[in-house]
Amino acid sequence: MYKVFFGLLLVLIVSGCSQNISQDDGSPDMQALSGDDVSIDAAEQVWEIEQESVMSLEDDFFSDEPDVVDASKEQYFLSDGLQADTSKKIIDFADILDGWPGKDGIPSIDYPIFVSQDDPSNNYLSTDSQGILLIIDDVKRWYPYNILNWHEIVNDTFLVNGEEIHVAVTFCPLCGSAIVFDRVVDWVILSFGVSWKLYNSNLLMYDRTTESLWSQTLGQAVVGDYVGTKLSIIDSNVISWSELETHHLDAMVLSTDTGRPRNYSSSSPYGSYDTNERLYFPVANMEDARLPLKEMLYVTNIADGVSIAFVLAELRNQLSGRLLVDDDEYIAYYEDAEYRIIWPDGDELPGFFEMWFSWANKHPGSSYIWIE
């Protein structure tokens, strides 16, 4: 089991330590820092400290019992500045883990800037750097994991044929979940932030209108006024920098000009997390061992509470996979560095990505997974 204190401390180090340099409140109205506000040398020194701390703390995650914060009282949320109506919930408060550095300690990007692929500021990217590709009509944008690792949410707006399309591009490094949502709910444009509370090792977002908490992988509000409300998923893909240059040369790239001093040249501030089989936080329903915990899946929801998944590596190898669900055949394809899933009627379904343990804990024992 896990000692949550150490997990939270690690998160503070790898994603909040830089706030010693940049003193801000994480609010969407914060003015962006100018390049003169923070020295490159200072940022690099902080990064070195962060990495040393990661290495020294990573082995301390494990002990006999989890430290689960008693979140049964509203004061628990108010102490972090969250104003969610805790009388409305669909999950047990005992399953919510508290996280340092608290609300907005990991700052969302609310005013994203984009640059062309040949911009010199992209020289921190390597050929295998991963990112989320979002295409709406003929507008293409790519959001590198190098940046998303530090911010987790980008509140963005596309202008297509005179119409504004408001999206939340989200990424949780703890479960590899890359999901894009339509952030308009009941005609209200929501802006999302990072609560730094976790549910089943997954990001709990909050909206800045009601401060309801939303599970990222469920795409659903689990505490607060919006409880039970689901966000619409927008189809996206995860592709590498080299694949972007090959297949989507006209795509714009999220800029490192975020107003926050971070070492975006690192592919992940979470040390060896992606390459080992250890989880930093407790997760329910982990008896299913058909796949390694962090095997990546390509996923789509086909009905309320019903999800199907394809093993990403096998799909890349075989280029297509077929899954039978109640006599209906769903087909997934990998072509030109992109994934897609087709309904039985021929329509395309919106897909997203997450690790096996993250999908399996919501669908224990499900047979709706294509493995080979």
Residues 13 and 156 in one domain: yes
Give kind and range of the element (H or E) at residue 55. helix 40-57
Phi, psi of 102, deg, nearest 5: 90, -175
User: What's the pLDDT band for 99 if we cut at 50, 70, 90?
Assistant: low
Single residue among 275, 308, 342 that ends a domain in this structure: 275
61 close to 6: Cβ distance less than 8 angstroms: yes
Where is pLDDT greater, at 24 or 344?
Answer: 344
105 and 180 housed in the same domain: yes
Q: Do 158 and 32 fall into the same domain?
A: yes
Question: Which range is least confidently modeled, 44-48, 191-195, 360-364?
Answer: 44-48
Whether the bond into 66 is cis, omega within 30 of 0:
no
Q: How confident is the model at residue 266 (pLDDT cuts 50, 70, 90)?
A: confident
For residue 212, CA distances in Å to 29, 194, 199 come to 20, 11, 14
**Confidence band, pLDDT 50/70/90 cuts, at residue 150:** very high
| Domain limits for position 347 | 296-370
**pLDDT-derived band of residue 94, with 50, 70 and 90 as boundaries?**
confident
64-73, 170-179, 197-206: the lowest-pLDDT one: 64-73
102-134 pLDDT, tens digit per residue, is: 899 999 999 999 999 999 999 999 999 999 999
Residues contacting 131, CB < 8 A, separation 6+: 142, 143, 144, 145, 146, 148, 238, 239, 240, 241, 244, 254
Q: Judge whether residue 84 has pLDDT over 50.
A: yes
43 pLDDT higher than 70? no
Q: Are residues 301 and 269 in the same domain?
A: no
175 or 34, higher pLDDT: 175
Instruction: State the Cα–Cα distance between residues 242 and 106, nearest whole angstrom.
Output: 28
d(CA 294, CA 86): 32
Q: State yes or no: pLDDT of 39 exceeds 60.
A: no
Are 153 and 301 part of one and the same domain? Answer: no
Q: What is the structure's pLDDT at 344?
A: 87
User: How far is residue 166's CA from residue 185's CA, in Å, rounded to a whole number?
Assistant: 10
In a domain, 281, yes or no: no
Q: Would you state the torsion angle of the CA atoms of residues 339, 131, 267, 58, taken in this order, to the nearest 10 degrees?
A: -70
20 with 72, same domain: the answer is yes
pLDDT of residue 69: 41
Does the structure show a pLDDT above 70 at 301? yes
Instruction: Give the predicted TM-score (pTM) of the model.
Output: 0.83
Q: In this structure, are 233 and 332 located in the same domain? A: no
- HSE toward the beta carbon, residue 253, CA cutoff 13 A: 29
Last residue of a domain, one of 245, 275, 305: 275
Tell which phi-psi region holds residue 345, choosing left (phi > 0), alpha (psi between -120 and 50) or beta. alpha
Distant-in-sequence contacts of 227-232, Cβ < 8 A, 24+ apart:
227/88, 227/89, 227/90, 228/90, 229/185, 231/168, 231/181, 231/182, 231/183, 231/185, 232/181, 232/182
